[in-house]
């Protein structure tokens, strides 16, 4: 066994996975409120650190340990930093200034309804007068958002023929009266958020909804936080790292060829 072959192989596989994540970021560079993803890698030093601190078999004779063959993909993480704001002057477009999410009643293809969270505030009013997302899912009011209740009594119903004004706290005004409140909530630990599609999120068991002091900006949308220039630079870096792995394999293959066909020839 030539360890260098495995080291180069794991490095190339790692770069392929990084490229997949980067390509997805670039594909969603124009998706409203999309949050880019990144990857971490587990290094040899990390593996040694775990071995040294492992006291589960203290005093018991054991082998030195498995040899790592190279790099391992650590985890895929989401960057929740806020994107730039784009003014649209559309009265049903909203952006969240601060930490928090809109809550929507999402219905899947099987007809099951659950609460999803998003920062995409490109809403509209349907023919029944309900405030909905561009995919037709109902936007929840403050009560539904905080309680995680996707019931119809927590939908926001408006007069489609009257002007809509929303203040920074999310109060919806029509004809000088409050007709509803756009729900906003935050999560105590973003590690319990799971991406669903392009810009929706599930709250996993163990995560808790909390109140947010974020403000709503009407007539504005949050753009993706993907920096296309940085992603292109990272793509070049990944390509070079992948090519370096290829050269290592080619070099070792040539060395083995000479060892077998020349050095080993009698």
Q: Token pair of 79, please?
A: 């960057």
Q: What is the per-residue pLDDT for 144?
A: 95
Q: Tell me the C-alpha distance between 101 and 60, whole Å.
A: 52
Q: What is the per-residue pLDDT for 57?
A: 58
Distances (CA, A) of 71 to 52, 156, 191, 234: 19, 50, 24, 18
Q: Tell me the C-alpha distance between 237 and 19, whole Å.
A: 10
CB 134 within 8 Å of CB 197: no
CB 44 within 8 Å of CB 65: no
Closest CA to 79 of 21, 133, 130, 125: 21
Cβ burial 194-226 (10 Å sphere, 16+ → b, else e): eeeebbbbebeeebebeebebebbbebbbbbbb
How do the pLDDT tens digits run along the chain, 266 residues long? 577 787 888 888 889 999 999 999 999 999 999 999 998 877 655 555 455 555 665 555 555 555 566 777 778 899 999 999 999 999 999 999 999 999 999 998 888 999 999 999 999 999 999 999 999 999 999 999 999 999 999 999 999 889 999 999 999 999 999 999 999 999 999 999 999 987 899 999 999 999 999 999 999 999 999 999 999 999 999 999 999 989 988 888 888 878 777 775 65
CB 115 within 8 Å of CB 103: yes
Residue 101 burial (10 A CB sphere; 0-12, 13-18, 19+): buried
Q: Tell me the C-alpha distance between 249 and 182, whole Å.
A: 57
Do the strands 85-87 and 37-42 form a parallel or antiparallel pair, or are they unpaired? unpaired
């Amino acid at each position: 066994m030539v360890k260098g072959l495995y080291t180069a192989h794991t490095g190339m596989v790692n770069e392929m996975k990084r490229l997949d994540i980067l390509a997805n970021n670039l594909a969603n560079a124009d998706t409203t409120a999309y949050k880019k993803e990144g990857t971490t890698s587990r290094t040899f030093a990390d593996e040694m650190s775990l071995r040294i601190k492992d006291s589960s078999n203290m005093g018991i004779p054991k082998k030195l340990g498995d040899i790592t063959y190279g790099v391992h993909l650590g985890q895929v993480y989401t960057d929740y930093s806020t994107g730039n704001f784009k003014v649209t002057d559309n009265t049903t477009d909203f952006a969240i200034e601060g930490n928090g999410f809109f809550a929507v009643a999402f219905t899947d293809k099987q007809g099951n309804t659950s609460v999803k969270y998003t920062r995409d505030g490109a809403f509209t009013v349907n023919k029944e007068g309900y405030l909905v997302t561009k995919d037709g899912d109902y936007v929840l009011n403050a009560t539904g958002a905080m309680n995680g209740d996707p019931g119809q009594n927590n939908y926001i119903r408006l007069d489609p023929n009257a002007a809509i004004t929303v203040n920074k706290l999310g109060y919806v005004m029509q004809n000088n009266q409050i007709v509803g409140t756009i729900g906003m909530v935050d999560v105590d630990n973003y590690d319990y958020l799971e991406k669903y599609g392009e810009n929706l999120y599930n709250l996993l068991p163990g995560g808790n909804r909390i109140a947010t002091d974020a403000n709503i900006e009407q007539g504005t949308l949050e753009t993706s936080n993907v920096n296309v220039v940085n992603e292109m630079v990272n793509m070049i870096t990944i390509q070079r790292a992948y090519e370096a792995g290829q050269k290592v394999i080619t070099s070792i293959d040539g060395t083995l060829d000479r060892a077998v066909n020349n050095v080993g020839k009698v």
